[in-house]
């Protein structure tokens, strides 16, 4: 896939200064049977010095969630860069399941390079994929992420997520008294502030085309939903209604935003039509309805309500506004988010007074608790449905942590500066 589609990402850097607040993944527990893979350093066929090593980016990506064990070059018996130099018996001797080799060359386009690579199945002794990624030399890390995505997809059969982005709120600290709306690569690199304010910022939500982020700001003395364009500093506020204006969430087609308004007296779910610039009411109840999330097929909106006496998750049909309750286990279930396949949800579940991240199968109703930490909140699901990142506590510090949906790998993403809350995972980049 041509890398020019990612010029939007590099364009961010022109308009928004990178802050020193970065996230980094620290694995706390990995899968017992990880896949062994060797990623050979790519042959560098450029005159300029190599500053970013693609094989190191790939290694970091694949080991991020504990599913792969990447053989370091110092333990390799050879460093092939073409199929003629690949001797499968040597790689089997090292216990590797897969092998990746490649090279980096210049193209006819100024400052653009081509990274070509091949993925081998060592056991079957055959190539399972050959590909290349093009892009400016300044985007070597992103080129590495794209190769990692393909490796993950070819081996696991589901899309890789290493090219995705994370939005989150950086809380005030001793070095920065402001709230910051941050975005970063999923590995924590290229972090930057899109907007900064001394007043609280909340609830970031990515548009499906990755061109905008909706969020809540209190800069006007009350809550208001804003849309921030990522290619420039341009931002606009949605039509302000009296009372609460909060919890924006983009529809899958990007034409609407669900949100919470209290202009009728109680917080209810509303839908904002982007073309008409108008609000329409979805729920009407004396209880508190909040935290909406669109289903992948746009036919339903998941939301939290205390209409039964305690916070529970409900689903409203967007065509006829019919509502059904989804959660019944426990006295507190909130902040629900659909899994990408629409067959389940992830949410905050309280058990024995402790807040955990849990999942529920929508067909069977079975609940599975994923986390063993406390005060967990604000889960966001990876676009391939394999990982959940959420906000939690490390002592008295707010941090982001994560877990794979099978529960085998746990990790934390500590901020190097400030405290992070309310993560929002971007959609997949085509």
What confidence tens digit (pLDDT) does each residue in 163-187 have? Answer: 999 999 999 888 889 999 999 999 8
Tell me if 65 is assigned to some domain: yes
Ranking 102-116, 236-250, 251-265 by mean pLDDT, the lowest is 102-116
**Residue 105: pLDDT over 70:** yes
Domain stop point among 156, 178, 197: 156
Q: Do 315 and 347 sit in the same domain of this protein?
A: yes
- Please report the pLDDT score of residue 22 as a whole number: 67
**Residue 212: pLDDT over 70:** yes
Q: How confident is the model at residue 204 (pLDDT cuts 50, 70, 90)?
A: very high
Quote the pTM value: 0.89
Q: How confident is the model at residue 4 (pLDDT cuts 50, 70, 90)?
A: very low
CATH of the domain at 61: 3.40.50.10070
- Please report the pLDDT score of residue 12 as a whole number: 34
**Residue 15: pLDDT over 60:** no
- Please report the pLDDT score of residue 21 as a whole number: 55
**Residue 5: pLDDT over 50:** no
Q: Do 187 and 133 sit in the same domain of this protein?
A: no
Report the domain count for the chain.
2
Q: Do 144 and 280 sit in the same domain of this protein?
A: no
Q: How confident is the model at residue 416 (pLDDT cuts 50, 70, 90)?
A: low
Q: Do 103 and 174 sit in the same domain of this protein?
A: no
Q: Do 103 and 240 sit in the same domain of this protein?
A: no
- Please report the pLDDT score of residue 28 as a whole number: 66
Ranking 253-262, 371-380, 406-415 by mean pLDDT, the lowest is 406-415
Tell me if 298 is assigned to some domain: yes
Ranking 11-20, 123-132, 283-292, 294-303 by mean pLDDT, the lowest is 11-20
**Residue 8: pLDDT over 50:** no
- pLDDT tens digits for 53-89? 999 999 999 998 888 999 999 999 999 999 999 999 9
Q: Do 178 and 126 sit in the same domain of this protein?
A: no
Question: What's the mean pLDDT in 287-293?
Answer: 97
Q: Do 269 and 139 sit in the same domain of this protein?
A: no
Domain stop point among 156, 175, 202: 156
Average pLDDT, the chain: 90
**Residue 397: pLDDT over 80:** yes
Q: Do 240 and 386 sit in the same domain of this protein?
A: yes
- pLDDT tens digits for 363-386? 999 999 999 888 899 999 999 999
Tell me if 350 is assigned to some domain: yes
Domain extent, residue 130, equals 31-156
CATH of the domain at 206: 2.120.10.30
Q: Do 288 and 393 sit in the same domain of this protein?
A: yes
Q: Do 173 and 289 sit in the same domain of this protein?
A: yes
Q: Do 302 and 408 sit in the same domain of this protein?
A: yes
Q: Do 209 and 170 sit in the same domain of this protein?
A: yes
- Please report the pLDDT score of residue 413 as a whole number: 84
Sheet with 367-369: strands ordered across: 333-338, 344-351, 354-361, 367-369
Tell me if 312 is assigned to some domain: yes
**Residue 214: pLDDT over 90:** yes
Ranking 95-109, 115-129, 132-146, 409-423 by mean pLDDT, the lowest is 409-423
- Please report the pLDDT score of residue 352 as a whole number: 87
Q: How confident is the model at residue 396 (pLDDT cuts 50, 70, 90)?
A: confident
How far is it, in rounded angstroms, from Cα 102 to Cα 142?
Answer: 16
- Please report the pLDDT score of residue 395 as a whole number: 84
- pLDDT tens digits for 17-50? 334 456 767 666 655 678 999 999 999 998 888 8
- Please report the pLDDT score of residue 394 as a whole number: 85
Q: 190 vs 388, which has greater pLDDT?
A: 388
Domain stop point among 138, 156, 174: 156
């Amino acid at each position: 896939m041509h890398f020019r589609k990612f010029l939007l990402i590099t364009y961010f850097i022109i308009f928004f200064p990178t802050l020193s607040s970065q996230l980094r993944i620290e694995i706390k527990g990995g899968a017992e049977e990880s896949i062994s893979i060797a990623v050979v350093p790519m042959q560098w066929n450029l005159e300029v010095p190599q500053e970013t090593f693609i094989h190191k980016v790939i290694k970091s990506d694949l080991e991020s969630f504990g599913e792969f064990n990447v053989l370091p070059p110092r333990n390799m018996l050879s460093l092939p860069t073409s199929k003629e130099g690949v001797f499968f018996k040597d790689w089997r001797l090292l216990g590797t399941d897969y092998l990746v080799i490649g090279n980096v060359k210049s193209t006819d386009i100024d400052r653009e390079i081509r990274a070509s690579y091949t993925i081998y199945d060592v056991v079957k002794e055959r190539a399972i994929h050959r590909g290349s990624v093009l892009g400016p030399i300044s985007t070597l890390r992103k080129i590495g992420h794209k190769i990692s995505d393909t490796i993950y997809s070819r081996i696991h059969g589901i899309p890789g997520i290493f090219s995705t982005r994370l939005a989150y709120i950086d809380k005030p600290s001793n070095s920065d008294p402001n709230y910051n709306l941050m975005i970063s690569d999923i590995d924590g690199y290229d972090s930057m502030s899109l907007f900064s304010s001394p007043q609280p910022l909340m609830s970031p939500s990515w548009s499906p085309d990755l061109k905008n982020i909706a969020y809540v700001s209190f800069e006007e003395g009350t809550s208001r939903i804003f849309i921030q364009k990522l290619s420039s500093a341009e931002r606009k506020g949605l039509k302000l209604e009296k009372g609460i204006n909060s919890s924006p969430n983009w529809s899958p087609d990007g034409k609407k935003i669900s949100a919470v308004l209290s202009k009728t007296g109680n917080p209810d779910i509303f839908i904002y039509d982007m073309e008409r610039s108008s609000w329409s009411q979805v729920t009407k109840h004396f209880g508190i309805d909040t935290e909406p999330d669109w289903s992948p097929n746009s036919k339903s909106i998941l939301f939290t309500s205390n209409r039964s006496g305690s916070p529970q998750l409900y689903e409203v049909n967007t065509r006829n506004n019919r509502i059904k309750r989804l959660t019944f286990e426990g006295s507190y279930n909130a902040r629900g988010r659909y899994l990408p396949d629409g067959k389940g949800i992830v949410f905050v579940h309280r058990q024995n007074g402790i807040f955990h991240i849990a999942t529920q199968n929508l067909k069977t109703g079975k609940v599975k608790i994923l986390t063993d930490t406390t005060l967990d909140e604000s889960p966001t699901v990876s676009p391939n449905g394999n990982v959940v990142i959420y906000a939690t506590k490390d002592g008295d510090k707010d941090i982001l942590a994560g877990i794979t949906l099978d529960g085998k790998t746990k990790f934390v993403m500590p901020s190097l500066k400030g405290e992070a809350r309310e993560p929002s995972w971007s959609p997949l980049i085509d």
